[in-house]
Chain A
């Protein structure tokens, strides 16, 4: 079975500061990794995904994530956040070839002016 741990439930950051949202996973098989974002009162939207190849993945809205197999981590980063990045961010994992996404508990990112 797979599991995902998002180490921070809430992250407050000042506008234009860098941010890192942490995600660790557990799996006995190779996995695909995802970050989704949920803006208030909306469904989830894919930010980026890691399937294979380069461990640094770039996504939408200036976000990127790095897959670290030895540390079983997939941390999300942005060098300079904007007020509009205020949202909840979910890390998710699925075994390669499977369809069942397992989500972390989410990290609420709040950007302060």
Chain B
């Protein structure tokens, strides 16, 4: 298996521009997670989906952030408009959730390093 695939790996943009990050989860996984990693705040969960449905978006910083999962093999995280404080590494992870007996091992992608100037 190719693992979790994220694109782009690096993104440099100017303040005010729209940024779209993409993720392809591991085939057969039914849960998908978006994380943000910064030096100041560490690793934070932004949002996660089960069977393409958003379950918990309480970590999404504000309305400028939105995430979608139109099908089981693709998700996007969009920032519009972007700000310098959004600069971070954004990780996507996927897992196989089977209910209460789940082991919930999350498999992480390589991340997208976003720099907003």
Contact = CB atoms under 8 A, between A and B. Distances in A.
Interface of A: 32, 34, 36, 41-46, 49, 51, 90, 94, 96-106
B32 to A, nearest CB: 10
A43 B4 contact: yes
B91 A43 contact: yes
Interface residues of B, number: 26
Judged by DSSP, the binding face of A is loop
A101 B106 contact: yes
Contacts, number: 56
A88 to B, nearest CB: 10
B45 interface: yes
A45 B100 CA distance: 23
27 contacts: A32-B103, A32-B104, A34-B105, A36-B108, A42-B110, A43-B4, A43-B91, A43-B93, A44-B91, A44-B93, A49-B103, A90-B43, A94-B104, A96-B100, A97-B99, A97-B102, A98-B104, A99-B31, A99-B48, A99-B95, A99-B97, A99-B102, A100-B45, A100-B48, A101-B106, A102-B45, A106-B43
